[in-house]
Every structure is written in C-alpha cells, then in structure tokens.
Amino acid sequence: MSGLSRRKLITGGLAATAGVAGLAVADRLAKAYGLVPPDAGGIFGPGETLTYAAQSLLTAHRPAREFPRSMISKDPFAVPIAPPSDAFKKSQALGFSDWRLTVDGMVARPTAFSLADLKAMPIQSQITEVACEEGWSYVAEWIGTPLSGVLREVGVLPQARYVAYFSVEPDQWDSLDMGEALHPQTYLTMGMNDGELPVAFGGPLRMRVPMQLGYKNLKFIHHITLTDSMKKFGKGLGSVEPEFGYAWFAGI
Ligand SMILES: Nc1nc2c(c(=O)[nH]1)N[C@H]1C(S)=C(S)[C@@H](COP(=O)(O)O)O[C@H]1N2
Ligand SMILES: [Mo]
C-alpha cells in the first residue's frame, strides 16, 4: 500500500471512528500510531488528540507555501518584545560572539554551538509567511540552517520524541515532535531579507517553523533539549501557550 493511501486509510479511520464510536476510541487509535500530543488528557482532551493525529498524518511531508521575492512584505510587523535584559545587551555589544545554543538531553553528544558554528553549517533560505494567531501575517526571507542538521550533529537517541526549545526571555519555550523538528523548513534562523536577523525579529537566533502559527517561532533561542516526555516541562502541556488556552499543535 502506498504511503498516501495508507495515510488516507488511517485518517479516514480516525475520523469515522470519532463519528461512530466517540472520541475515546479515536484517542486509543491515535495512541496506537504514537500520535499523542503532549497535552492529551489536559484542557483540550481527545478532540485535540484527534486533530493532531489527523493533521500530522495529512501534512507530515507537506511544505509550507514559499513565495516569490516580489511578495516579501515591505513593512513586516514585529510583535513588540520585552525590554532586553542587561545580559542580552552585553551580548549584543559583543556582536553576540558569546551567544551559545546548548543542545542536550537525549542526545549522544551534548554540544554548545556558537553562532559561528551554526553559520558554518549548510545555510539555506526560504521566503515564507509568519502568521500570528491574532490574524495578521507578513512574508519575509528567512536565512538559517535546518534544525535537522544540528540534530544529526548531536546524535538524537532513539527514545527522544520531542524537541523542547527555550528563549532567553523568561517563560518563553515551546516544543515540536520529531516529525516537525526534522521538517526541511524548520530552521534555526540567523538572517532575514539578506541581512542579519534584527533583534526585533528574534536575532541573533530564532526558531522558524513556517508550518505552524507565529507563536511556535520563538525568538532568542539559547537552549534545545531532547526528551521522551513533555510532562517534565512547565505544566506538562508541551509549551507555555496551552497554559493560556492556545493549542500546542498550531499547524496551518
Ligand atoms: N521570545 C519570544 N518569541 C516570540 C514571541 C515573544 O513574545 N517572545 N511572540 C511570538 C508570537 S505570539 C508571534 S505571532 C511571533 C511574531 O513574530 P514577529 O515579531 O516576527 O512578527 O513571534 C513569536 N515569538
Ligand atoms: Mo502571535
């Protein structure tokens, strides 16, 4: 059976089961395929599990739309950020030469990458849209290195299921499942529109996840950790957003 018809069968099965026998059965099916969001059983319940399972099966290898250069927004809107801390300002004065991205957890080789280390990895660019859950969006060119390459470099252990990532801003963290983390458009971004990534847009290092809503695209990334369970972080909902009523899986 081809991958696509298999996916159709699974998602069709999930949806039909939900209609006929209720969400609890869909929940069990999703678990059988290992498609359980970290906040399952939490505030969203089985409906969230069903949405996530169906969405990730349907969109697993679908790229986010890329735009022609002519459609780059003339005046991209940066969501205002908290005033930078003294430590951040000091690092900025050093051209972020002391910035480190620490990658640890369930990896063979925990590593602290400088920006120079990351810039020495394969650099790619994408012209994609940032879409905020509040309804506005803009298109920009994002320049960085795919997260997948960094994960290969540190050697992800087989039991790892999620990639949790943390901003230097307090209480700003999120996570991706392995499928989304290894997606070719998931970048650690250091440049924007042919220049350095401005601080307002998350410089010096931003997680770019064009397949998901703006809030998954965290600015000022300094730590990534691989884990088998998001229950170990915060309130166990997979990111800080579900604590305020937004979905962990924010696919668009
Ligand atoms: N560190 C950090 N990252 C963040 C935010 C934030 O407040 N702090 N806001 C998020 C939200 S809600 C959105 S919609 C996007 C906005 O991206 P922009 O500033 O490039 O428009 O950044 C996301 N990343
Ligand atoms: Mo947002």
Atom number in ligand 1 closest to CA 81 = 7
Positions of the chain with pLDDT under 50: 1-7, 9, 15, 17-18, 20-21
Regarding the beta carbon of 49 and ligand 1, being less than 6 Å apart is answered: no
Q: How far is the CA of 221 from the centre of ligand 1 (A)?
A: 12
Please report which ligand is nearest the Cα atom of 216.
Answer: 1
Report the DSSP beta bridge partners of residue 162.
177, 227
C-alpha–C-alpha distance, residues 55 and 252, integer Å: 9
Count of CB atoms within 10 A of residue 134's CB?
10
Atom number in ligand 1 closest to CA 220 = 1
C-alpha–C-alpha distance, residues 121 and 138, integer Å: 27
Indicate the top mutation candidate among 72, 73, 79 to test ligand 1's pocket, ranked by most ligand atoms within 8 A of CB: 79
Regarding the beta carbon of 185 and ligand 1, being less than 6 Å apart is answered: no
Regarding the beta carbon of 249 and ligand 1, being less than 6 Å apart is answered: no
Regarding the beta carbon of 169 and ligand 1, being less than 6 Å apart is answered: yes
What is the H or E stretch that residue 164 is in? strand 162-167
The dihedral through the CA atoms of 39, 41, 42, 46 has a sign that is positive
Regarding the beta carbon of 192 and ligand 1, being less than 6 Å apart is answered: no
Regarding the beta carbon of 252 and ligand 1, being less than 6 Å apart is answered: no
Q: How far is the CA of 52 from the centre of ligand 2 (A)?
A: 20
pLDDT score of 80 = 92
pLDDT score of 252 = 86
Residue nearest to atom 23 of ligand 1 (CA): 215
Q: What is the pLDDT of residues 105-132, one digit of tens each?
A: 999 999 999 999 999 999 999 999 999 9
pTM of the model: 0.84
Please report which ligand is nearest the Cα atom of 133.
Answer: 2
pLDDT score of 9 = 47
Please report which ligand is nearest the Cα atom of 210.
Answer: 1
pLDDT score of 120 = 98
Report the DSSP beta bridge partners of residue 163.
176, 226
pLDDT score of 7 = 47
Residue whose C-alpha is closest to residue 106's, from 161, 153, 148, 149: 161
Q: For the chain, list the domains and their CATH numbers.
A: 3-58 (no CATH), 69-244 (3.90.420.10)
Please report which ligand is nearest the Cα atom of 78.
Answer: 1
DSSP symbols for 94-141: TTTTT-EEEEEESBSS-EEEEHHHHHTSPPEEEEEEEE-TTS-EEEEE
